[in-house]
Structure 1
Amino acid sequence: MSGWDGIDEFIAVATASSFTRAAKAIGMSPTHVSRSIIALEQRVQAQLFHRTTRTVRLTDTGRVFFERCARIAQERDEAIALIGEQGEPQGELRVTCPTAMGERFIAPIIRRFAMPYPKLNVTIDLSNRVVDLVGEGYDLGIRTGAVGDARLIAARVASRTLYTCAAPSYLERAGTPGAVADLAHHECIAGTSTTWRFSNGSDHQLHRPKGRFRSNSGQAVIEACIAGLGICQLPDFYILPYLKRGMVVNVLEDVRSADEPIWAVYPQRRHLLPKIQRVVECLQHELAAAMRE
């Protein structure tokens, strides 16, 4: 028996707070993970987790043990990556990204990135939910706005501008809003965001859109806007093609909020892996240009 037996399983369960999610993250069966934890507890002669039918949480002893083990595991993984991979991206690269941005920009960029590296296997999961990268075993995520998870490193790869627009036909019928407060008297087409943001530099305002049409698809929202159903707020890559052709009109431009950062985020334990370093560099080089096209 190795002194390391059960440590990876322990770290995975402590991180995910679940035997099932931990097993998925490390590619093992839940039964194997459970048995490994039991054997580890017997070896260290201490209970590491409080278990109920619904929750798994660290004991005080388990918390101290986890902090030490996580640090050692990080150093081990970095040493193996630096020597074993010899600078060439390889192994599994699991990426999660918002659906629309992933389809239009991230997936094509990462596909081109992966082509010269035959030892690299890529999985791209497109989802608009905020994925727990550490708990679910992802290597990289694409996020917008603020990143508040201390377990993650964030590298800015691009930015996006939010536009508030309406079709000329709607504005002829309903009038043009002159201030954010006027939106309360207009039909607003809501997307995935529950609030719209506005700023004139020092003063920041929020508006909660209300109207007869709502969709979690940005494309459906812009099409409803073009049809004259109301006012929408969407990122530049949805709006600009139609704005340039006059199919929608920019409103409240004087209070448009500052550009929103786009981040590549990844668990701290992976920050020296060549596959992470290279793909982040690729995104920083290509994403902003692709979104302007």
Structure 2
Amino acid sequence: MDKLENMKRFVTVVQTGSFTRAADVLGLPKSSVSEAVKSLEQLIKTRLLQRSTRQIHLTHDGEIYLEKCLSILEQVDMLDTHFLHPSQLSGTLHIDMPSRFAANIILPNLHDWYDSYPNINIKLSCHDQRTDLIKDGIDCVIRAGQLEDSSLIARPLLMLSTINCVSTNYADEYGVPMSLDDLHHHVLIDYAQNLQTQTPVFEYVKEEVVHHLPMTSKLQVNSTDAYLFSCLSGLGLAQIPDLSARSYIESGELIEVLPDLKAPAIPISIIYPSRRQIPKRLSLFMDWLQAQTKKVRPD
């Protein structure tokens, strides 16, 4: 069997987490997928996967081999597409981003992408959590904050300002904070990516210095959707990105409070694996994404 084909099957097993799911994705018998991995292991004389009845794990050698396989398959793909006009490119891009970013920027404009690149499909997953791009087979993610993993590259997209918000029903019941001292009589909706134990704080910039004021919180969430809709439901004060909050403020569902005490702007970036060359499909998508953000942030 072709070695490249075996590599593709091995990568699919890792990305799906099982031989059965890999076989379903590839449209092959499970035995064919299993034989492909065994053939690679016999060829390089090392075990790539630790198998159990419930799950599989990469061995140390398997992790190294996976990285090399991805690089080789990527090079082959780039060679296959090198001489094609962008409109002739085909395939699928797996992109991951927060659901509010998808709703506000990507989905309303995705038809433009398909007009330009009709044969490049998008597999879109939406959450805020950290993910392993290599093992999960993700081409790039959109994330807020600073990049911590040196094996990845961050391409800046935009700086996202936030708005301090309460809902109208919250304001009717508890009033509106007019000063920092007033915040001691209000509750904060706490956003934490990993739902870790932390002191809920109201974050604000004053005289170019970032300050953190501890506040009472009865609710902690790890989703941008849950954060927004908790505020809309009157469960407390939230510091919401302006792209998400603006329409609700205009409709009267949310009220901006303490406009002179805003949190620092949040850097939003495209994050992708650190490789010497970027597949043409991915490069085109990142350029397109940059153009979409300029529509909402012309500066």
TM-score of the aligned structures, taking structure 2 as reference length? 0.74
Listed as ranges, the matches of 1:158-169 within 5 Å are 158-166=158-166
Contact 2:95 2:123 in 1 (8 A): yes
Q: Distance in 1 between matches of 2:141 and 2:56?
A: 25
Between stretches 209-218 and 67-76, larger displacement belongs to 209-218
* Deviation of 1:68 (Å): 4.2
Matched, 1:221 2:269: no
> Partner letter of residue 170 of structure 1?
A
Q: Distance in 2 between matches of 1:28 and 1:155?
A: 35
Contact 2:10 2:37 in 1 (8 A): yes
Contact 1:21 1:136 in 2 (8 A): no
Match of 2:281 in 1: 275
State the Cα deviation string for residues 49-94 of structure 1 (Å, max 9, x = none). 33334553444544554454444334333323323x3433422233
* Deviation of 1:236 (Å): 0.5
- Secondary structure (helix, strand or coil) at the match of 1:211 reads strand
Q: Distance in 2 between matches of 1:213 and 1:11?
A: 37
Contact 2:231 2:237 in 1 (8 A): no
Q: Distance in 2 between matches of 1:55 and 1:104?
A: 37
Match of 1:148 in 2: 148
Match of 1:178 in 2: 179
Match of 2:17 in 1: 18
Match of 1:126 in 2: 126
Matched, 1:238 2:244: yes
Q: Distance in 1 between matches of 2:152 and 2:188?
A: 35
Match of 1:49 in 2: 49
Q: Distance in 2 between matches of 1:21 and 1:234?
A: 42
Q: 1:290 aligns with which of 287, 291, 296?
A: 296
Match of 1:38 in 2: 38
Instruction: Call closer, same or farther: CA 1:76–1:204 in 2, change over 3 Å.
Output: farther
Aligned length, in residue pairs:
285
* Deviation of 1:160 (Å): 1.3
> Partner letter of residue 233 of structure 2?
A
Contact 1:109 1:287 in 2 (8 A): no
> Partner letter of residue 290 of structure 1?
V
Q: Percent identity?
A: 22
- Secondary structure (helix, strand or coil) at the match of 2:116 reads coil
Instruction: Call closer, same or farther: CA 1:222–1:230 in 2, change over 3 Å.
Output: closer
> Partner letter of residue 289 of structure 1?
K
Q: Distance in 2 between matches of 1:55 and 1:279?
A: 34
Q: Distance in 1 between matches of 2:71 and 2:219?
A: 52
Structure 1 unmatched ranges of 5 or more: none
Matched, 1:198 2:203: yes
Q: Distance in 2 between matches of 1:12 and 1:268?
A: 20
Between stretches 167-176 and 149-158, larger displacement belongs to 167-176
Contact 2:203 2:212 in 1 (8 A): yes
Matched, 1:93 2:93: yes
Match of 1:253 in 2: 260
Instruction: Call closer, same or farther: CA 1:106–1:25 in 2, change over 3 Å.
Output: farther
- Secondary structure (helix, strand or coil) at the match of 1:6 reads helix
Contact 2:23 2:33 in 1 (8 A): no
Contact 2:187 2:217 in 1 (8 A): yes
Instruction: Call closer, same or farther: CA 1:50–1:234 in 2, change over 3 Å.
Output: same
* Deviation of 1:291 (Å): 6.2
Bigger share in strand: 2
